[in-house]
């Protein structure tokens, strides 16, 4: 550290660069120097600030100019066609110029203002130039568009009226538009050449569309081989298999002149292209038309196969209609087969329902009447018979497969049941007659009324209150005009229904017994509420409730059937189960035991199983076992004696079992097989027949006389009496 000399005078400079003498002479000289340095620095700042303001203004001007130019460009391109683009764009540019000039006026630096104004003027000049160029471009484009639009309009005009005179007229109009356009001479020549080609094509297209002969002069309709008509080939099959023909270009025809300017001046490639496109569309239209004709022919043939000839049948199969899509040979084949169908139609329904004897007689009659025909007519007659025979065979196959559908389609039964009040019986009786006639004429046993009609009854049952349905059905069976014989026929139809639940409900509802009708109500309720009842039973008794049901029912009525898999057993067991469920729904009591099932059996069947000679049968409703046993024994004994004599070993009732046939009828069986009379018919006992006097009765088989009675029977059998 330097030593500080305190002896040094105050006037001595403390710093090496200070002049003490000078400072002593001019004490303000140092301050002037500092002031001069500050002025110089301020001047530098102002210069730099001015430059900075200019730079900032120029930058803002550049950005502003870019935005203005972009905005101006967007404006020009947004102008619609048909306006004065130059005038509008110039005005827009001038508006931008004056707006910018006002902004420049606020710049404080004159030099900068002058610079910016010069820049703004240059920008205006550029925009005015762009606007003018854009206007010229737009006019040029519009000229081309006018030419294009004119060409389209002229082409359409020629297509509608493709004459040479109209072609020349429209060409001259097009040339006028081109000549007045802003195009260069070279471009005008090109446009005229393009217009000529367009108009030539349009005339060709118009001629191809409006003048069929022109197409014929350039193309040919080519068919494949005609359909080989074999035996049994029907009109719809011929129509579907026959070739509808294809229009194809005929190369040889393209070499000639047609006399039409457009076609004759087109290049071969262009002409073939137009022809190919036209033929492709025409062929597609022909295929669509052929499909429509085929669909119509199929419908008419289907109806003819049923024996129905529509009012437009002859028109559909006319030569004028068919020749549009088929060659002459196929047209003739279709018409020939259609006429045969028409001739056959009146006989189809008759032949389909004839007995074998009636059909044989019919064939014999036809043959006898055609024996003197010429060969061609005899051939037609045999084709006629073969067609009918095929229909008959198909009909009988349908009968065996779906007898109810067969009856319905032949008009033997109504299509639906009439469930209106007072009409049910009259709609069921024809079903009985048809079933009986079908069995008699064709040997086909038909039961019930068919699934559709059964569904009608089932839906009515589910859709009404149980009491209302029972009342309705009972009323229908007791209407005035419904005879006892009618009731038996209706019972026969109802008993034959596949839906045994519906069948049982109807039989109970039509019963004379009030008790039987009352039992139908819980069954109907069970049908409606089965799902809920099953859930409640399972929740209270577990998953074994179904098995419990089956075991209890089987114990009560199982002996009446040939095991638990017997279809009749399953159906009857179902009705009993529904009766129980219906009562459960009504009472809320879900007890399930043997007594409940026994009561249900009594309610549904009106009785309980009866054992006789090792077999089990169900006595009629309300008849005691005692009365039933005596009547069955007495009537059987009388029947057997009448059939086999009073000395035959076949005359003893004790030798036979029985099988329930319904409505109080019971068949005799031996080892589960029907016992038949000498004519081979099952022996049936009607429990309601009058009981003869002096016939053996089971009443003698009392406890005290059983052994004596059985010994007597055994003795008679041993003697062969």
> Tell me: the pLDDT tens digits for 249-272?
888 778 778 888 888 888 888 888
At residue 408, the pLDDT reads: 92
Average pLDDT, whole number, for the chain? 85
Q: In sequence order, what are the beta bridge partners of 611? A: 616
Percent of the chain whose pLDDT exceeds 70? 89
Least trusted range by pLDDT, from 331-340, 538-547, 651-660: 538-547
pLDDT above 60 (res 174): yes
CA 107/CA 110 separation, integer angstroms: 7
18 within a domain of the structure (yes/no)? no
Helices 328-353 + 375-401 axis angle, to 10:
50
Give the pLDDT mean for 408-414.
Answer: 90
Band of pLDDT at residue 216, cut at 50, 70 and 90? confident
Same-domain check for residues 64 and 164: yes
Beta-carbon neighbour count of residue 561 at 10 Å?
20
**Residue of 164, 145, 151 whose CA lies nearest to 195:** 151
pLDDT above 80 (res 616): yes
Q: Is 58 exposed, middle or buried (0-12, 13-18, 19+ CB in 10 A)?
A: middle
215 within a domain of the structure (yes/no)? no
Give the pLDDT mean for 337-354.
Answer: 84
Same-domain check for residues 298 and 328: yes
Same-domain check for residues 285 and 334: yes
Band of pLDDT at residue 708, cut at 50, 70 and 90? very low
Structurally, how many domains does the chain consist of? 5
Same-domain check for residues 44 and 174: yes
CA-based torsion, 530, 535, 541, 545: positive or negative = positive
40 within a domain of the structure (yes/no)? yes
CB neighbour list of residue 633: distance below 8 Å, 6 or more residues apart: 653, 696, 697, 698
pLDDT above 50 (res 189): yes
Write out the H or E segment, with its range, that includes residue 571. Answer: helix 567-587
At residue 620, the pLDDT reads: 92
Higher-confidence position of 106 and 580:
580
Higher-confidence position of 699 and 287:
287
Same-domain check for residues 495 and 518: no
Give the pLDDT mean for 194-202.
Answer: 88
Same-domain check for residues 596 and 625: no
At residue 18, the pLDDT reads: 54
Same-domain check for residues 51 and 157: yes
359 within a domain of the structure (yes/no)? no
At residue 28, the pLDDT reads: 58
Beta-carbon neighbour count of residue 129 at 10 Å?
11
- Where among 176, 210, 244 does a domain terminate? 210
CB 510 within 8 Å of CB 473 = yes
- Where among 449, 483, 512 does a domain terminate? 512
Higher-confidence position of 43 and 655:
655
Same-domain check for residues 426 and 567: no
- pLDDT digits 0-9 by tens, 50-92: 777 778 777 888 888 888 888 888 988 888 877 887 888 889 8
What's the Cα-to-Cα distance from 478 to each of 381, 467, 472, rounded to whole Å? Answer: 53, 17, 10
At residue 21, the pLDDT reads: 53
Give the pLDDT mean for 199-216.
Answer: 83
pLDDT above 90 (res 636): yes
Q: Which residues of 104-127 are buried (b: 16+ CB within 10 A; e: fewer)?
A: beebeeeebbebbbebbeebbeeb
Domain limits for position 59? 35-210
- DSSP codes of every residue in 639-707: HHHHHH-TTSGGG-GGG-EEEEEETTEEEEEETTEE-B-TTSPBPEEETTSPPPTT---GGG--TTTHH
Same-domain check for residues 482 and 524: no
At residue 182, the pLDDT reads: 77
Length of the chain: 721
At residue 1, the pLDDT reads: 42
Same-domain check for residues 204 and 260: no
pLDDT above 70 (res 587): yes
26 within a domain of the structure (yes/no)? no
Same-domain check for residues 201 and 104: yes
At residue 375, the pLDDT reads: 65
Percent of the chain whose pLDDT exceeds 90? 40
Same-domain check for residues 557 and 640: no
At residue 717, the pLDDT reads: 44
17 within a domain of the structure (yes/no)? no
Torsion-angle region of residue 709: left (phi > 0), alpha (psi -120 to 50) or beta?
alpha
For the chain, the first-to-last Cα distance in angstroms comes to: 172
673 within a domain of the structure (yes/no)? yes
Q: In sequence order, what are the beta bridge partners of 366? A: none
| Dihedral angle over CA of 468, 469, 474, 479, nearest 10 | 80
At residue 30, the pLDDT reads: 60
Band of pLDDT at residue 348, cut at 50, 70 and 90? confident
556 within a domain of the structure (yes/no)? yes
Least trusted range by pLDDT, from 23-27, 166-170, 456-460: 23-27
Band of pLDDT at residue 705, cut at 50, 70 and 90? very low
Residue with tokens 């002025």: 39
CB neighbour list of residue 169: distance below 8 Å, 6 or more residues apart: none
**Residue of 146, 274, 257 whose CA lies nearest to 202:** 274
At residue 703, the pLDDT reads: 36
| Dihedral angle over CA of 548, 528, 448, 451, nearest 10 | -110
pLDDT above 90 (res 345): no
Q: In sequence order, what are the beta bridge partners of 668? A: 658
- pLDDT digits 0-9 by tens, 2-22: 444 444 444 444 455 555 555
- Where among 494, 512, 530 does a domain terminate? 512
Q: In sequence order, what are the beta bridge partners of 249? A: 219
At residue 272, the pLDDT reads: 86
Tokens of 650: 């076949």
């Amino acid at each position: 550290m330097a030593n500080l000399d305190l002896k040094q005078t105050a006037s001595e400079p403390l710093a090496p660069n200070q002049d003490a003498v000078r400072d002593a002479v001019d004490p303000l000289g140092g301050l002037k120097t500092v002031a001069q340095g500050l002025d110089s620095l301020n001047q530098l700042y102002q210069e730099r600030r001015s430059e900075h303001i200019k730079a900032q203004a120029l930058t803002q001007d550049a950005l502003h100019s870019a935005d203005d130019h972009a905005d101006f460009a967007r404006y020009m391109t947004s102008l619609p066609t048909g306006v004065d683009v130059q005038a509008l764009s110039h005005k827009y540019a001038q508006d931008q110029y004056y707006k910018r000039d006002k902004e420049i006026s606020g710049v404080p630096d004159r030099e900068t203002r002058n610079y910016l104004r010069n820049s703004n003027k240059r920008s205006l000049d550029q925009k005015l130039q762009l606007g003018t160029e854009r206007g010229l471009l737009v006019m040029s484009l519009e000229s081309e568009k006018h030419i294009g639009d004119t060409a389209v309009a002229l082409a359409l005009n020629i297509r509608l009226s493709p004459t040479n005179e109209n072609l020349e007229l429209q060409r001259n109009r097009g040339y006028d538009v081109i000549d007045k356009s802003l195009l260069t001479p070279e471009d005008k020549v090109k446009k005229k050449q393009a217009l000529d080609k367009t108009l030539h094509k349009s005339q060709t297209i118009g001629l191809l569309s409006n003048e069929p002969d022109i197409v014929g002069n350039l193309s040919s309709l080519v068919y494949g081989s005609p359909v080989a008509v074999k035996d049994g080939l029907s009109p719809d099959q011929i129509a579907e298999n026959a070739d509808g023909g294809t229009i194809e270009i005929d190369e040889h025809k393209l070499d000639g002149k047609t006399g039409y300017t457009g076609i004759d001046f087109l290049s071969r490639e262009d002409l073939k292209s137009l022809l190919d496109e036209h033929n492709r569309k025409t062929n597609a239209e022909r295929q669509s038309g052929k499909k429509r004709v085929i669909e119509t022919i199929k419908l008419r043939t289907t109806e003819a196969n049923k024996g129905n000839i529509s009012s437009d049948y002859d028109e559909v199969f006319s030569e004028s209609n068919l020749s549009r899509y088929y060659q002459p040979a196929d047209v003739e084949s279709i018409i020939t087969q259609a006429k045969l169908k028409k001739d056959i139609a009146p006989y189809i329904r008759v032949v389909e329902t004839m007995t074998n004897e009636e059909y044989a007689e019919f064939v014999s009659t036809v043959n006898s009447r055609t024996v003197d025909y010429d060969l061609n007519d005899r051939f037609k007659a045999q084709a006629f018979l073969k067609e009918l025979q095929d229909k008959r065979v198909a009909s009988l196959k349908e009968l065996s497969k779906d007898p109810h559908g067969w009856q319905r389609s032949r008009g033997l039964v109504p299509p639906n049941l009439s469930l209106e009040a007072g009409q049910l019986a009259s709609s069921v009786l024809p079903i009985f007659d048809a079933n009986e006639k079908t069995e008699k004429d064709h040997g086909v046993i038909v039961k019930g009324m068919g699934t559709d009609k059964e569904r009608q009854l089932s839906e009515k049952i589910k859709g009404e209150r149980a009491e209302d349905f029972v009342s309705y059905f009972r009323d229908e069976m007791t209407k005035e005009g419904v005879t006892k014989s009618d009731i038996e026929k209706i019972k026969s139809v109802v008993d034959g229904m596949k839906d045994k639940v519906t069948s049982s409900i109807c039989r109970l509802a039509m019963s004379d017994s009030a008790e039987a009708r009352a039992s139908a109500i819980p069954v109907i309720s069970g049908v409606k509420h089965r799902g809920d009842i099953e859930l409640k039973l399972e929740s209270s008794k577990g998953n074994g409730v179904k098995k419990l049901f089956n075991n209890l029912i089987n114990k009560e009525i199982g002996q009446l059937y040939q095991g638990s898999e017997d279809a009749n057993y399953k159906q009857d067991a179902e009705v009993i189960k529904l009766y129980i469920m219906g009562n459960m729904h009504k009472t809320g009591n879900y007890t399930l035991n043997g007594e409940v099932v026994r009561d249900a059996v009594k309610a549904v069947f009106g009785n309980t199983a009866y054992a006789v000679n090792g077999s089990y049968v169900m006595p009629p409703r309300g008849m005691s076992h005692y009365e039933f046993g005596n009547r069955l024994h007495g009537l059987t004994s009388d029947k057997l004696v009448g059939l086999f004599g009073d000395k035959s070993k076949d005359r003893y009732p004790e030798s036979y079992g029985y099988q329930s046939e319904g409505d109080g009828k019971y068949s005799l069986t031996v080892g589960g097989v029907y016992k038949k009379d000498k004519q081979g018919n099952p022996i049936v006992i009607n429990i309601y027949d009058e009981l003869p006097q002096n016939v053996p009765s089971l009443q003698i088989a009392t406890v005290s006389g059983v052994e004596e009675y059985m010994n007597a029977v055994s003795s008679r059998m041993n003697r062969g009496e």
